[in-house]
Structure 1
Amino acid sequence: MLPGEDRAARRVLLVCLAAGVTTLLDQSVLNIAVPALRQSLDAGAVQVQWIVAGYSLAFGLVLVPGGSLGDVRGRKGLFLLGLSAFVLCSVIAATAGRAGTVVTARLVQGAGAGLVNSQVIGTLQDVFRGLDRARALGLYAVTGGVASALGPGLGGALLGVLPAGLGWRGCLLMSVPVGVITLFLAARWLPPARRVAAHTGLDLGGLLCVAALTLSLMLPFIVTPGSGVEAALWVAAVLGSAGALVAGQRRRARAGMVPLVHPSLARSPSYALGTAVAMGQFGSSLAAGVVLALFLQGGLGLPGLVAAAVTLPGAVAMGVSSAVAWRVVRRLGAHTVTLGAALGIVAVLAEALAAVSVPVTALPFVLAGLQVCSGAASGLTVSPNQALVLQNAPAEAAGVAGGILQMAQRVSAAVCLSAVSGIYLRGASGRLDTSRTAFALAALVCAGLLAVSLVLCLLRSRTTVRVRRLQPPNSRDRAGSLDHSSSEPS
C-alpha cells in the first residue's frame, strides 16, 4: 500500500519511484551488455573499467552537493535538469561510435542520476512525515534494489532479440522512454520549488578530498603501477587525501561551518558502522554482477540471453526476500542484516568453488542456483540496513545522512567495480581455464568484502547494546527500536 492518504503525495511518490527505477536499472542493464559493447567498439580493459565504474563514481560525488543545492534552490528544477541530462546522455552513449564517447557520456549520465536521486531523497522527506516517510523511503530502497536485480535479465533479452552490435545499444536506450515519461509526470506532479534551508556554504574542499581519495583507490587497478616507486606514490596519495579530508572536516567544524560529514554523524558509531556495512555489501554486489556477466559471455561463451537466464533467479529471489525482509526483522531485529551478510558470503564462496571444479556443461545451472542464495542475501541486507542506519542518524543531521549513505555506497561501487573487474580482465586471457581461475579469484575478493561487512555487523550489534545500557530509560526505545521490533516500511 502506498503511504499517505493524499492523492498528490501518492503522485509524488510514484514520480520518485519511477526516477529511482530509471537511474538504478540503467547500470545493471548495461552490466550484461558489457562484453558485447567491448567487442563492438573494440574497447580496451581500461575503457571497460571506466564504463562500469565511472557511472557510480559521478553518481556518488554529486549526491551530497546535489542535496545541498536542493535545500537552498528548491528541488523540482534540479530534478528535471538531472533527469534531462541522464536521458540525453543515454542517447549519446547508445549511438556512440567510440568507446571514449561512451565513457564520457556515462560520467555525465552518472552525475545526472546523482542529481536526480539527491532530489528524490529530499522530496520524500519534505512531502511525508512519520510512518509515511519510513514507508516511502523503504519503498524507494526496495524498488531500486529489485530494479537493479532485474536489469541483467532485461538486458539479456534485448541482446537475444536484437541483431549483433545493436543489443548493447538497445540496453542503453531502454531507460530513455521511461525517463521521458518520468520527466513529463515530474513537471506536472512534483511540488513547486521552494527553499527548505538557509545557504550554509558547500564543503567543496571535502568533496575534492573524497574525489581524490576515490581516484587514488581506483586508478591503481586501472593503470597498474610499473614499479615500487609508483606503488609508493599511490599509497601516499591515498594517505594524503584521507588525512586532508579528516583535517579539513575538523577545521570546518571548529570554524562553525557545516562540514561534508556532519559532526554528529561522525560521533554516531551505529551510523558509521552501518554505512561501512552498506559500502561493503553494495560494492561487492555490483562487482560480482559485472564479473559474472563477463565470465558467462566472455569465458564460457554463452549468448547474452542465456547469461541473463542465469542471473534471473537471483533477481526473483531478491524481490521475494525484500518483500519478507521486514517480517524477518520483527523476529531477528538488526541481526537480519548479519544473516544476509553471512548468506552472501556462503553464496559467493560457493560460486568461486564451482567455477574451478564443476564441469563446464553443468556450471551455468549451478551458478543459476547459487544466484538464488545471493539474491536472497541482498534482499535481507539492503533495505533493513538502510532503515537501521537512518534510524540511528542524529535528528539534527537526518537530511544529510541519507545523502552521505548513498554517496558512500556509490564511491565504494566505483572502487570495487574497477578493482574486481580489473582482477578478472587481467586474469582471463581468452582461455577457458584462465577465465575460470580469474572468476574464482574475483569472487573471493567479493567474499572478502562481505566478510568485512559481517564483522562490522557484529561490531555494530555490540556497540548498540553498549549504548543502550548507557542511555537513560526514556531514550532506549528510539535507540534500539530495530533491535527488537520494527514498523514495516513497505
Structure 2
Amino acid sequence: MPRRSAVVLAVCLAAAFTTLLDQASMTTAVPSLRSSLGAGPVTTQWILAGYSLTFGLALVPAGRLGDRYGRRGLFAGGIALFTLSAVLAGTATEPWVVAAARLLQGAGAGIVNPQVYGIIQDLFTGRDRARALGAYATVGGVAGVIGPVVGGVVISLAGPAHGWRFVLLLTVPFGLLTIPLALRLLPRPTTVRRTPLDLPGLALLAVVTLGLLLPFVLHPATLAGAVLGLAALLWWERRCPAPLLLPELLGSRGYTLGVLTAMFQFGASLSTTLVLVLYLQDTLGWSPLRAAVTALPSALGFACASWQSWRVVGRFGRRGVACALAAAVTADLATVVIVNNGIGGQAALMATQLAMGLSGGLIVSPNQALTLAHAPAAHAGLAGAFLQVTQRISATVATAAVTGIVLTRSSTAALVVCAALMTAALICSLLDLRGGYSRSAERRRFETTESSFRS
C-alpha cells in the first residue's frame, strides 16, 4: 500500500489499541480501586460497564457525523475527550467521579473508533481493505487480552494503594501523542456529504441499551424499558425514510449471524477475564502480578493464533471459526470446573487461558472480515459500526451481570453465564454454516473474501 496510507493506518491502529487497552487493563485494577475508594457493588458495576455503554451509544452517531463532516476533527476530538477523562478518573478521590469519568471516556472511544472504520473504507480497496480491517480486528483483540497483564504489572510496581491510578493514566501519553499526529496526517474533509442521521432511531437504540443494563445495577423491572424501546424502535424503523436498521443488512443471513456470533463471543471473552481476575484477587487473595501471570498465556496464545488465523480461515472458512468457538466453550467449561472444585491450581487455569487465547485469535479477525464481506458496499461503514455496537452492548450487559453475580453470589455462577454466552456464539456460527450461501451474490462476496485470505 502507499506509504502515506500506511502511516495513516498506523495512527488509526494506535488510537484503536489505546482505547481498547484501557477497558481491558481496568479489570485488574478494580479490586485495588474498590479498596482504596470504598466503592460499593453498584458503583463498581458502573465503573466497569459504563465505559462500554457510552462507547456503544456513541458509535453510530459518530460514524454518521464522520461521513457527513469529515473524520479528522472527530478523530482528534474523541482522543482529546478520552485523554482528559482518563486524567479525571486517575486523579479522582470519590468512586462516583471515577464512574462519571469512565462514561465520558467511553464516549470518547466511541467517537474515535468509527472514524477508524471510515478512514479504512476511504483509503483502501480490495485486498488492502481486507488486510487493514484484519489489522484493526487483531489490534483490538491483542489489546483486550494483554490489558489484564499490563494492569497487573503496573499495580505490582506502583503498589495497590495508587497502582489503579497509574492504570487509568496509562493511556494519557499515547493520547497526547496521537492528537497532533492525527491533526497533521489524517486527510482533511473536502466536501460535506448529505448523510441522513436517524435521531429518533438513535434515541430509541439508547433506550434499549440502557434498559438492558439497568436491571443489573438498579432493579429487574427496568428490563421492561428495553422491551418497550425495542418495540418502538422496530415500529419507527419500518416508517423512517432513512432507517438506522438497514433492510439490506438485516436481510443478509451471513451478516446477521456473523454479528450475533461476534456479539456473544466478545461479551463472553471480556467477562470471563473479569470474573477470573476478581476470583483470583478477591477470593484467593492473589497479588495483581500473580493474577496477571495467570492470564498471560491468553495474551500469548491470541497473538500467535492471530498471525495464522488467515491461513486457517482461508482453508476452512466458517468451519474454522466454528471449531475455534467449540474450543473456547470447552475452555470456559474447564475453567468452571477448576474454580468450583479448586483442582489443578494456577497451572490448570493457565492451560485454560492458553486455550482461550488460541481460540480467540482464530475467531475475532476472521469472523469480522467474513461478516463484513456480506454487507453491501454502499453501507460498509455502517455495517462495521453496527458490528461494534452489538459487541459493546454485549460487553456492557455481560460485564454488569457477571460483576453483580461475583459480588453477590459466586465466581462459579458467573463463569457459567460466560460459558452460556460462548455457547450461544457457537450456535449462531453453526447456524450460519448450516444455512450455506445459496444466494449467488452472497456466495461471490464470500469467495472473494476467502481468496484474499489465502493470498
TM range (shorter): over 0.9
1:272 aligns with 2:239: no
Structure 2 residue identity aligned to 1:52: L
User: What is the alpha-carbon distance in structure 2 between the residues aligned to residue 16 and residue 489 of structure 1?
Assistant: 25
Q: SS state of the match for residue 399, structure 1?
A: helix
- Alignment correspondent of 2:413: 441
Alignment of 1:244-393 (within 5 A): 244-252=232-240, 257-359=241-343, 362-393=344-375
- Among 29, 33, 37, the alignment partner of 1:37 is 33
- Map 1:124-273 to 2 at 5 A: 124-195=120-191, 197-200=193-196, 202-225=197-220, 231=221, 234-252=222-240, 257-273=241-257
TM-score by length of 1: 0.90
1:395 is matched by which residue type in structure 2? A
Give TM-score scaled by structure 2 length: 0.97
CA spacing shift, 1:8–1:216, aligned 2, 3 Å: same
Q: 1:309-357, CA deviations, whole angstroms, 9 ceiling, x for partnerless residues?
A: 0001100001111111111112211111111211111001000000121
Structure 2 residue aligned with 1:408 = 390
Per-residue deviation, residues 392-440 of structure 1 (Å, max 9, x unmatched): 112232221001111111111101111111111111xxxxxxxxxx111
- Aligned AA (2:255): Y
**Corresponding letter in the other structure for 2:415:** A
- Which residue does 1:454 correspond to in 2? 426
1:76-87 equivalences under 5 Å are: 76-87=72-83
Aligned to 1:488: 453
Which of 420, 425, 439 in structure 1 is aligned with 2:402? 420
Contact kept in structure 2, 1:333 and 1:486, CA below 8 Å: no
Task: Give the secondary-structure state (helix, strand or coil) at the position aligned to 2:348.
Answer: helix
- The structure 2 residue matched to 1:98, chosen from 94, 97, 105, is 94
- Counterpart position of 1:433: none
- Do the aligned partners of residues 195 and 62 (structure 1) sit closer, same or farther apart at CA in structure 2, a change above 3 Å counting? farther
Contact persistence 1:75–1:194 (CA under 8 A):
no
**Paired residues of 1:283 and 1:416 also in contact (CA < 8 A):** yes
Structure 1 residues 9-57: Cα deviation after superposition (integer angstroms, max 9, x where no partner): 1110110010011100000111111000011010000011111110011
Equivalent residues of 2:311, 2:454 under 8 A apart: no
Higher Rg of the two aligned structures: 1
- The one-letter code sitting in structure 2 at the alignment partner of 1:478 is R
Distance change in 2, residues 1:196/1:313 (3 Å): farther
Deviation, structure 1 residue 235 = 4.4
Letter of the 2:419 partner, please give it: A
* 8 A Cα contact 1:54 1:107, kept in partner: yes
> In the alignment, which residue of structure 2 is the partner of 1:13?
9
Letter paired with 1:356: N
Specify the alignment match of 1:22 in structure 2.
Answer: 18
Do 1:277 and 1:453's aligned partners in 2 also have CA atoms closer than 8 Å? yes
1:431 is aligned to none
Change (3 A) 1:51 1:194: farther
Contact between 2:53 and 2:393, CA under 8 Å: does it hold in 1? yes
Amino acid at match of 1:41: L
AA of the residue aligned to 1:388: L
Task: Give the partner amino acid of 1:449.
Answer: L
Q: CA deviation at 1:224?
A: 4.0
Distance 1:192 1:214 in 2: 33
Equivalent residue, structure 2, for 1:435: none
Structure 1: unaligned runs, 5 residues or longer: 226-230, 428-437
Q: Distance in 1 between matches of 2:192 and 2:255?
A: 24
CA distance in 2, matches of 1:198, 1:412: 31
Deviations 1:156-215 (A, max 9, x none): 111111133110001011101111111121122111123463232x11211222211122
CA distance in 2, matches of 1:151, 1:106: 16
Identity of aligned pairs, percent? 46
- Count of matched residue pairs: 455
In structure 2, distance between residues paired with 1:194 and 1:77: 13
Q: Distance in 1 between matches of 2:286 and 2:275?
A: 14
2:195 alignment partner, SS class: coil
How far is the alpha carbon of 1:481 from its aligned partner?
Answer: 4.3
Cα RMSD for the two superposed structures? 1.6
Question: More displaced, 453-462 or 79-88?
Answer: 453-462
